[in-house]
Structure 1
Amino acid sequence: MIEQNDEITLTEKNGRVFIAITNGGYTLKKFDELTRKHTRLKVSNFLALKNAFEHKTHEPIEIGSWIESMELEISADKMEALLTIYESQTYIQENLAEIYTNIQKVLQEQQIIYGLKPIDLLNVKSGKTYIVATGLPPQKGGNAKVTYLGQAEKKPVIKENGNTDFFDMNFIVEIKEGSWLGEKIPAQKGIDGINILGENVPAEPGDDIKLNYDTKSAYEVEEDGKTVLRSKTKGIIGEVNGVLSVKKHLVIDGDVGLETGNLTFDGSIQVKGTVMAGYSVIASGDVSIDGKEGVNAAELIKSTEGDVYIKGGIFGRGATKVEAYKNIFVKHANECTLEAKDTINIGFYALGSTISANQILLNERKGKIIGGKTIAVNSIIAAYSGNSLERKTELIVQGIDRKILKENAKEKAQEMIKLQEEMSKLKLQIDQLKNALTVQQIAVFEQTKQKYNQLQVEIKEIDTEIKRILRTLRQPNNYYIHITKEANAGTIIQIGYKTSVLSSPTKGKFKIENGELNV
């Protein structure tokens, strides 16, 4: 018997609840108050309940169920147990010892022994769910850590007095055979956890990280619990598409001249002396001319994939040309031509020279551009331009046509796809010819390999150019010429298609504002 009075009889049998109405004045509102008193009553047959009230039946009608005093739910991962008590607030307060005993019994039945959490029965609310046990979660191990030997920082040091130090740039770092190139500390084991049943929960190890390197120039060795990367050969550190390598490195202890002849090298070149008048140095990697006197009337100094550094500057006599795929670093430029796709850094001055790059930087305190033509895509920075004699000095920032650049990148991407398809076909031919027997088959095999290798070089060049274009497109449209100290009369300032010739000395950051040049 759950409830019996002059109006209704509410009974329970085997978990099923029945109602019989003995007084026609009994209402649903009163029944609703009754359900709040008996919180274990769950009405599921509302149609039967409605009929009982409409027909005032004296016969018991099944309307729902009488649920358990409490319900325990265990999470799928066995890391948490949730308890819901359905007894009324009054019943709980009057039967604390019984409720506590029942909770312990339910926990024991489910074999929950770890991470038990007490419930404040004095403040517990009927029908609300409480956490009664929590497992100790496993801790994932630390990820592997990879460190690589860094590239030399190719950046002139600006001293406090404003001078640019080109003598300690450490432009090329030579690698010896067996040199440390990097290392990997392996992923760590995790710490196991414990679930609420007291069972061990295995932890995941940390994520592994692959060492990316060229196997032809480096190798792995286990040392003191670490995987150490060492050089197979001497050279300089290099990187292609995120893969570390040791590139070939040619060192000329003296000058490039009569004894050496012109130099062309697939790798980097370090000339500890100078390049004599009329001689050339061409390298795929970085080119470093370390002689303090610089170069005098050399014909061509060129890097097809890297940077060019000339420690002592250039006296070109109108004959010297310096080209770099990336950057040029030079102490001064006198009557020469400089071309770079990224940045040209000039320490002291540029006199009567033709200079072009993405951006051109001179010392903001003392750097001078006098005469000649200086052309940049994005920006030109110097302390002075022209001179008191009003020598014609052209400073031009062209800007970029983004639409043309995007189309150019798209065309190159399509070209690269075609080359990759051709490479796949050649790779198949190479695999088929590996076991060539006849002289003719061997010749075809070697020719196919050569063509395959040439395509690899072409694809690499196109990929590098696409990345350069995309890098340019990501730059904001902030084209300017900044003369920090004095732009003399005779200086020509040009941004895009807007041009102005200075008639009197001035200074400032010149750019397009409201469609006009702010000179």
Structure 2
Amino acid sequence: MAELTQQKPIIRITFDEMEAYMLLPEPEQGTGYTDSQIRQEMAARGITTGIDEQRISDMLEGHTYNAELLVAQGKKPVDGTDGYYEYKFDTNFDGKPKLLPDGSVDYWSVHSIESVTAGQVIAVYHPAVSGEDGMSVKGRLVPAKHGREQMPLKGKGFDRMDDEVTYTASMDGKIEMQNDRIVVLPVHEVSGNAELAEGNIDFRGDIVIHGNVESGVNIRATGSITIDGVAEACMLEAGKDIILRGGMLGGNKASVKTKGAITAKFFEFTNILCEGDLQADVLMDCSVICHGQIRLTGRKGSIIGGKVQAIRGLIATSLGNDAEKRTEIFVGAGIDVYSRLRVMEKKIEMTREELAKIEEGLEKFEILSKERGVSYTNDPRRTSLLRIKIKDSAMLASDEEEVRKLRILAESSKGACVSVLQEIYPGVVINMDELKLALKNMATGVEFYKLPDKIGTRPCSAGVE
């Protein structure tokens, strides 16, 4: 009689050791599998964790052969979550007015500042949640990713409560995110009109005027300026954005200067210098220099008269009028920027050469001091060189910063176009660097762009946001 061969269970463990499968080959008649045999085989393969006792029992009792079934399953790790801040204020608003269905622009929709009051909750911290480690079928620890705590909020104008997760404003003012910092800044608010009899306003922070601004009033803010009414022939200067919901009647005496963007219903007879973008309905007989882009895309968006420069380009519903009023449009950096850039680069080169000579002179004093054993610290010649070095170094830093800004202007001006969504009238003059194009005939829906030797035209492709 032939000796019966005892079959062995076939065990397969997944590559991550999180699952183990077993197949029982059909045994020869008269043989079978025992629980102890299977236990020994699993132990030999190192399987110690997550064993499915019921599954093994069912396979033995049910004579389940030639089918690979899951018999052990590890415990998967549960990753934790990082701590995070829930901000109780709007951290991202674009400051742009909404375009209404009828084509007009709603300047009251502009979100200029986010106001808070002392004691108002501005942020709540949700602590990190720890992860839960897992275990493989072989008893190997599978580490979970544990949540990381965030650093306490940085900034000024707020307090952290005793629970160490709640932050409240410590003053009334405007709240904003500056990179990874929260800052609550003071706001100077005028409930009515800003009148000449009450004097000028000069404020470190934001200014909000809920009425009109009379002629002759000067308003300066290191932050933003928001005027709900009409600004007359006044002077406005801001370190950030300017919003004029009622527009400006400049009377050839008004000036507006800002390092940020400008949003206004209209400007008439006003001098404007804007380092950001400018959006309005109408510019009439204004002198404008805008380092960004000018957009006049409302139903009545137009430029009539004046000189308007937009370094990053201009989009308008119409330019000029049927009276053929002379309207000069300049886009691109312009000849002046490139000329100034060349002058400043040459000046920087000369200053660096001068500083190199000064360093040589100072080094000679050091050598003489070592050779002769005499101190030249108070020598008038050395003192004079040091004074010149300090002055030239400061001048060099200032000039390098100006060159940096000029290069940014030159780079941002590349590809600047004039896009006219509807009519452009005779009397309009388009300038792009040294090139000029005077309109002789009315045109509609046209875009002007720079070619090497002339200003080209093509159908307007600009859309309205």
Q: State whether TM-score is above 0.5.
A: yes
Give, in angstroms, the shift of residue 289 of structure 1: 1.4
Aligned residue number for residue 423 of structure 2: 486
Matches within 5 A, 1:36-47: none
Aligned partners of 2:9, 2:410: CA distance in 1, in Å? 69
Tell me, yes or no, if structure 1 residue 392 matches structure 2 residue 326.
Answer: yes
Matches within 5 A, 1:402-481: 477-481=414-418
Query: Which residue of 2 is the match for residue 350 of structure 1?
Result: 283
Q: Is the 8 A contact 1:365 1:484 kept in 2?
A: no
Q: What is the aligned partner in structure 1 of residue 79 from structure 2?
A: 140
What is the distance in 2 between the residues matched to 1:467 and 1:474?
A: 11
Native 8 Å contact 2:303 2:327 kept in 1: yes
| Residue pair 2:314, 2:418 contacting (<8 A) in 1 also | yes
State the AA in 1 paired with 2:415.
N
Match of 2:368 in 1: none
Contact in 1 for aligned 2:124/2:166 (Cα 8 Å): yes
Instruction: Render the CA deviation track for 1:452-509: whole Å, top value 9, x for unaligned.
Output: xxxxxxxxx99x9999889878869431111111000010112333210000101311
By how many angstroms is 1:395 displaced?
1.1
The alpha-carbon deviation at position 156 of structure 1 amounts to 1.1
1:446 match? none
Aligned Cα root-mean-square deviation (Å): 4.2
CA distance in 2, matches of 1:495, 1:111: 78
Q: Deviations over 1:169-209 (max 9, x none)?
A: 34233221012222222222334433325687664432323
User: Do 1:115 and 1:136's aligned partners in 2 also have CA atoms closer than 8 Å?
Assistant: no
1:209 aligned to 123, 134, 150, which one?
A: 150
Q: 1:105 aligns with which of 40, 46, 63?
A: 40
Q: 1:503 to 1:476 in 2, by over 3 A?
A: closer
Question: Do the aligned residues in 2 keep the contact of 1:140 with 1:190 (CA within 8 Å)?
Answer: yes
Deviation at 1:165, TM superposition (A): 1.3
Q: Deviations over 1:254-307 (max 9, x none)?
A: 33333431221111111222222122111100111122xx11111x20112x10
Retained in 1: the 8 A contact 2:196–2:215? Answer: no
Task: Note if 1:500 corresponds to 2:437.
Answer: yes
Q: Which of 231, 249, 255 in structure 1 is aligned with 2:169?
A: 231
The one-letter amino acid of 1:106's match is E
Q: Which moved more, 1:141-150 or 1:266-275?
A: 141-150
CA distance in 2, matches of 1:340, 1:166: 18
Q: Give me the whole-angstrom Cα distance separating, in 2, the residues matched to 1:314 and 1:498.
A: 32
Aligned mate of 2:198, from 247, 254, 260: 260
Q: State the match for 1:382 in structure 2.
A: 316
Q: Which sections of structure 2, spanning at least 5 residues, go unmatched?
A: 1-7, 349-397, 458-465
Amino acid aligned to 2:436: T
Structure-2 residue corresponding to 1:164? 105
Q: Given the superposition, is the C-alpha separation of residues 328 and 465 from structure 1 closer, same or farther in structure 2, using an over 3 Å criterion?
A: farther
Query: CA separation in 1, counterparts of 2:295 and 2:13?
Result: 69
CA contact (8 A) 2:74 2:134 kept: yes
- Name the structure 2 match of 1:220: 160
Structure 1 residues 134 and 512 mapped into 2: Cα distance closer, same or farther (>3 Å)?
Answer: farther
Separation of aligned partners in 2, 1:74 and 1:336: 76
8 Å Cα contact 1:180/1:231 also seen in 2? yes
Give the length in aligned residue pairs. 380
Distance of 2:243 and 2:216 partners within structure 1: 19
Q: Distance in 2 between matches of 1:302 and 1:474?
A: 26
Q: Tell me, what secondary structure is at the counterpart of 1:302? A: strand
1:187 pairs with 2:128:
yes
8 Å CA contact 2:107–2:265 kept in 1: the answer is yes
Residue 328 (structure 1) aligns with: 262
The 5-angstrom pairing of residues 125-136 of structure 1 reads 133-136=72-75
Distance 2:402 2:83 in 1: 33
Q: Which TM-score applies when normalising by structure 2?
A: 0.69
Q: SS where residue 396 of structure 1 aligns?
A: strand
Residues 181 and 98 (structure 1 numbering): CA distance in 2 closer, same or farther, change over 3 Å? same
- Per the alignment, in what secondary structure is the counterpart of residue 374 of structure 1? strand
Structure of greater Rg? 1
Give the conservation status (yes or no) of the 8 Å contact 1:92–1:99. Answer: no
Tell me which of the two structures has the higher relative contact order, counting C-alpha pairs closer than 8 angstroms and 6 or more residues apart.
2
The separation in 2 between residues aligned to 1:474 and 1:175, in whole angstroms, is 39
Does the CA contact (< 8 Å) of 1:146 and 1:211 recur in 2? Answer: no
* Unaligned ranges ≥5, structure 1: 1-67, 86-90, 125-129, 412-460
Q: Is the 1:139–1:193 Cα contact (8 Å) retained in structure 2?
A: yes
Distance in 1 (CA, whole Å) between partners of 2:322 and 2:150 is: 61
State the Cα distance separating 1:343 from its structure 2 match.
0.5
Find the aligned partners of 2:13 and 2:175 in 1 and give their Cα distance.
Answer: 60
Between 1:386-395 and 1:195-204, the stretch displaced more is 195-204
Structure-2 change in CA distance of 1:144 and 1:472 (3 Å)? farther
Residue identity matched to 1:228:
T
- How far did residue 158 of structure 1 move? 1.1
For 1:101 and 1:369, the matched residues in 2 are separated by 93
Q: CA deviation at 1:336?
A: 0.4
Deviation at 1:219, TM superposition (A): 1.6
Q: Call closer, same or farther: CA 1:201–1:146 in 2, change over 3 Å.
A: same
SS of equivalent residue, structure 2 residue 137 = coil
* Equivalent pair of 2:90/2:114 in contact (CA under 8 Å): no
**1:309: Cα distance to partner?**
1.1
Change beyond 3 A, Cα 1:239–1:496: same
Q: Secondary structure of the equivalent of 1:107?
A: helix
Q: Following the alignment from structure 1 to structure 2, what is the Cα–Cα distance between the partners of residues 158 and 396?
A: 26
**Alignment partners' CA distance in 2, 1:177 and 1:468:** 39
Q: Which moved more, 1:488-497 or 1:191-200?
A: 191-200
Question: How far apart in 1 are the matches of 2:195 and 2:327?
Answer: 34
- Tell me the percent identity: 22
- SS at the partner of 1:209? coil
Letter in 2 for 1:135: G
Partner residue, 1:310:
244
Instruction: Report how far residue 244 of structure 1 moved.
Output: 0.9
Q: Give the residue type in structure 2 aligned to 1:243.
A: R
**Secondary structure, in 3 states, of the residue corresponding to 2:283?**
strand
Amino acid at match of 1:486: E
Contact 2:133 2:142 in 1 (8 A): yes
TM-score of the superposition, structure 1-length normalised? 0.63
8 Å CA contact 1:253–1:272 kept in 2: the answer is yes
Write the letter of the residue equivalent to 1:354. S
